[in-house]
A and B are shown apart, each in its own frame.
Chain A
Amino acid sequence: MYISLAFKNAFRQKKRSFTLGINYTVVTIVLLLVFAFSNGARVNIANNLIKTSAGHLTITGQYVNERKAYLGVKNFPLITDIVHKTLGSDSLVLPRYILSSSLYYKGISKRLQFTGIDTALDTSFNDQLVLEQGEWEDFSDNPNAIIIPREIADYFGLNLSDEVLISTRTRFGAFNTGLLKITGIHNTANFFAGGVVLCHLDYLQKLDLAESDTAITLYIYLPTLAELSVKREKLINALAAAGFEVYKPQSNEEAISAITGSSARYTIEETDQNIIRLTVFTLDEALGIVSTVLGAVNGFGIFIAAILFFIIAVSIFINLRMTINERLREIGTMRTIGVEKYQVTLLFILENIILALLFTCIGLALGLGITALLRFTVELPPSGALSLVLADRHLALLPNICDMAAILLAITLLTALFSYFPARFGGKIRPVDALNNVF
């Protein structure tokens, strides 16, 4: 009975109810968009990162040989075997050789990061890179081939089949140079793949004068992402049993720097032992810094929502006080026929909760509509950091049902809280005062 009465009362003052309702709707839309953005960005970044710059588990390392410590994963074929034995033969292990070096062409030079892949195993870039010119097969068939981003091609004025010189300080300190033939020019939206300069793994190994069993990182892809930490523990134990020194990253920053690390000159280490050190980190650790950024985005959205909630709280208070003033006779009558104080209070609270529920639902529906509109119609250029949050040139907005339920619950509870004090005031008015309008 109270609910149907409250429902009827909620719209007695249509103008006032709609003004308050719009507030609920706006807050809902803002929160939904913020959460959809954050969720979409996280999923998008994780997907892009997995495809190009990290595995479900990633191994980086350092090895010491005759007091010289080199960056890289030494003896990676053995490590690959251990991964297959420990985590299953359906695990995919991809070695990468990453090198920072200068590219020269007709007197112009630029320092770039080169990524070397084993084309027989590693087809992830075949799916990822959008080749504007050239064919993947031209790249995979030619050991001296290179695929460059459109931006780099324009910088040098390069075209397919042009030959460029790469010059690097090897891990030992000596200079080495090589010729590379342009077999592809790509224009890729994926933030992590957009700037990739792709070469063959063995070419970069030789250029860096590294042994053929050395990679800079190993990406491990598992059939399922479940229990990554447990799988890492198993792998760490197996690697340690095989004589490797194995660590977990101390911080998310360490995981990120490992992802972006490239071959560097050796450093001196005061030890007589030859050691192979490995660090194994999970995708979540690589994404840790992303979570921090997205946490800040969420925080900003919640701050805006808090301001709007404050406006709603003030609106509820003023609205209810005005409603109570206008409905004194009704309050007096209810109290005279035996309605208790708390029941009057409850009635007013229910009226506001119904308003909040209704307009929050409208806000969620509108928010979903706006999300869909932004996601499917607005096209943005995939440049710079913006491409981090773009999926196929559209904003990667992903609304989540749990977030929507949380928004509905939070608005309902806050409305009940903000309504309680003015509603209690209405319930406390004595019937005689209410009937005489003299409270």
Chain B
Amino acid sequence: MNIKMRLTYLFIGLLIIIAPSFSQSESDPEAIRIIENFESKLNLEGFDITTLFTLVQKKEGEADRVLRIRIYRRDLSELFTILFLYPNSEKGKGYLRQGDNLYLYLPTTGEFVYRNRKDDIGSSDVRTDIFGRLTNLERFRASYLGSVRVAEWDCHLIRLDAKILDVTFPIQKWYVRKSDGLPVKVENFSASETLLRTYYYIDYSRVGANNYIFTKLLAVNHLEQGQKTFITNENVSTARIDDSVFKQSFLEQQSR
């Protein structure tokens, strides 16, 4: 065994010993304040939101893949419904989230498949959970890592470590803009701290007096070389959504 390998094992060993003591510690009050602040802005409680998202997935050496989805969202009840509109091969497919449960509807078989909340939308680089209500403090312990600069913005850097492993990315680093308290970048790591994906929140649109919804987002996949997904969000509507939209029968009906 060479020295490099020995050091690697030593490092892993130390991590195993040290990591639990970190994860068991309480969240940093400063980090909690920053998270609560941006979650209060991004969680659209009190609103029914209907939006049209376009996802363009780019892969090196391949033609762009375009997906168009309509999202119906009611954060107060932790509900959202995603309906695939384009391309035709995906049309009629959908997701239904009720609390912690996420179901994928497959129109070809008429089945609802339990997806355990973590799923890439139509094999893109974006997880379904970025469209719903944020509950970071319920599932993560937060620590404040200081100030950093991202592009032209001064940002707070928050590290999240999963309390439970029932999350997609157990370690996350959130870069939150000091000027308006909104996240501009999120780095997502595996349990062994390999950087897997980075989300860049490029632009937001205001909803109501003090709430926001992202309108442009770039998701970069660090494992698949040159693979990224660009999301744009148009036609944000706050009109009331009928309760039936958050039921399985709605997706079944839409696929007919």
B-binding residues in A (CB < 8 A): 102, 104, 106-109, 141-142, 144, 165, 167, 169-170, 172-179, 209, 265-268
Contacts and interface: CB of A to CB of B under 8 A. Distances in A.
B194 A170 contact: no
A173 B165 contact: yes
Question: Counting chain A CB atoms within 10 Å of each CB, which of B168, B194, B224 scores highest?
Answer: B194
Nearest to B117: A173
A82 B188 CA distance: 44
Given A104-B223, A266-B116, A172 B192 contact: no
Nearest to B1: A142
A170 B192 CA distance: 12
B1 A175 contact: no
B194 A174 contact: no
B-side interface mostly: loop
13 contacts: A106-B225, A107-B226, A109-B223, A109-B224, A165-B194, A167-B194, A169-B118, A172-B165, A172-B166, A173-B116, A179-B8, A209-B165, A267-B116
Interface in B71-117: 101, 114, 116-117
Contact of A173 (B118, B188, B196): B118
B164 to A, nearest CB: 8
B165 A170 contact: yes
A179 B166 CA distance: 23
Given A174-B169, A268-B114, A209 B191 contact: yes
Given A102-B223, A107-B226, A167-B196, A176 B191 contact: yes
B97 to A, nearest CB: 14
B183 interface: no
Contacts of A141: 1
A172 B166 CA distance: 5
Given A106-B225, A107-B226, A175-B188, 19 more contacts: A102-B223, A104-B224, A109-B223, A167-B223, A172-B164, A172-B165, A173-B166, A174-B190, A174-B191, A175-B191, A176-B190, A177-B190, A177-B191, A177-B194, A177-B196, A178-B192, A209-B165, A209-B191, A266-B116
Contact of B225 (A102, A107, A142): A107
B165 A177 contact: no
Interface in B193-221: 194, 196
A234 B5 CA distance: 47
| A-B CB proximity, top 4 nearest | A107-B225, A172-B165, A177-B194, A177-B190
A204 B190 CA distance: 15
A268 B115 CA distance: 10
A170 B191 contact: yes
B136 to A, nearest CB: 15
Contacts of B116: 173, 265-267
B150 interface: no
Nearest to A207: B192
A102 B190 CA distance: 14
B19 to A, nearest CB: 13
Contact of A175 (B8, B190, B226): B190
B196 A174 contact: no
B140 to A, nearest CB: 11
Contact of B169 (A144, A175, A266): A175
B114 A174 contact: no
A151 B190 CA distance: 28
A343 to B, nearest CB: 72
Contact of A174 (B1, B8, B162, B225): B162
Contacts of A173: 116-118, 165-168
B212 to A, nearest CB: 28
A148 to B, nearest CB: 18
